[in-house]
Amino acid sequence: MSANDEFFRSKKAAAVLKHGILKRYPVVFASKTGQGNPIVFLDGYAGRGEYDGGEPGSPLLLSRCAEFVQGFRDVLAFFVEQDPDSYANLEQVLREKGGPVQRELRQGSLDQYLPELLARAKGSSLFAFLDPFGPALDFDLIRARLLSRPSWPPTEVLLHFSVSTVARMGRAVHVAGQRPSGLSGSEQKAAARLDRFLGGAWWRDYFAKVSDARDDERATDVALRVADRYARNLTEGSDYQAVRMPVRPRPGLAPKYVLTLFTRHGEGAWHFADTLGKAGVEWEEAWVREQLRRGDHLVRQPPFEMLLVGVGRRGAATA
């Protein structure tokens, strides 16, 4: 069983927060930005339509958002998935449960179908959800092709940055690079994947502080700083701001990923924060259920504390 298959067996608390945003924010985006122009929702790494237990995945949530707004907006939902098995499930679930919405499904890579999507979205507001499994996304695909669209109609991108994957791969590449023999073939491929995802080899200097292959805590801290620099690089010289939310499995644990909304509008950042607050209540309920299901002693925690960090137009980070 692959890690991706394992992910879809059951929805963990960290995914609950992400999906809490996806079932709310696209509706707000369509309502606020679709006056007089169509709307396109893009799920660029769609995965399966639902989890094995029947819980909706991101494609089904976006389809439900499209169904909700289609009474007052002209909306198209566009889904891309590369894995054949996941695509078959996606196609079946959306056909049976996706509602009567206008949608397009494509099997293949986002690189392959982005030109078609951008042509379809010309003159439309575009909300893109990008949730690659690991560092599968090309930096230039976001900066030069999505964030370079005209300022109106608006484009917003919600991006999943896997802190745990970047920490694991970055640490492994750096530690291996200290060997007299250097990087193996597979390690060179891992380094190239990170270069493509992060937009260059600059991240290697960050991981120079991780000297021990077992130092998870330091590697995670470095990966979080890499995520911050990555967001600054994407927004540098543009009108975009990046509003970031580190997501933890439960309080007290290191973040597994960072959700970042790239938006040109202060109102978008405000509504995203409001959505995060509502999704955070569901996240808190989910990790409590996980602890109870495992029989763990339930340690009382303070209410969901939202840590929002915004990267402004000039790259300055503000809390």
Which pLDDT belongs to residue 13?
72
Separation between Cα atoms, residue 247 and residue 168, nearest integer Å: 17
As given in the structure block, the two tokens for residue 32 are 């606020």
Residue 209 pLDDT = 81
At residue 295 the predicted structure's pLDDT band, cuts being 50, 70 and 90, is low
More confident residue, 4 or 227: 227
- Nearest 5 degrees, angle CA 139-CA 125-CA 59? 70
Contact yes or no for 57/47 (Cβ under 8 A): yes
List, for residues 118-149, the tens digit of each pLDDT value: 999 999 999 999 999 889 899 999 999 999 99
Average pLDDT over residues 209-236: 89
SS3 at position 84:
helix
Over residues 257-286, the mean pLDDT reads: 86
pLDDT digits (tens, 9 = 90+) for 50-104: 887 788 999 999 999 999 999 899 999 999 999 999 999 999 999 999 999 999 9
Q: In angstroms, rounded to a whole number, what is the distance separating the alpha carbons of residues 319 and 307? A: 8
Whether residue 153 has a cis bond before it, omega within 30° of 0:
yes
Mean of per-residue pLDDT scores for the chain: 86
Find the mean pLDDT for residues 214-235: 92
Exposed (0-12), middle (13-18) or buried (19+): which is 267, by Cβ within 10 Å? exposed
pLDDT digit string (tens) for 242-268? 999 998 887 888 899 999 999 999 888
Task: Tell me the pLDDT tens digit for each residue of 149-207.
Answer: 999 999 999 999 999 999 999 999 998 988 888 899 999 999 999 999 999 999 999 99
From the number of C-beta atoms within 10 Å of its C-beta (0-12, 13-18, 19+), residue 265 rates as middle
Q: Please state, as a whole number, how many other Cβ atoms lie within 10 Å of the Cβ of residue 294.
A: 7
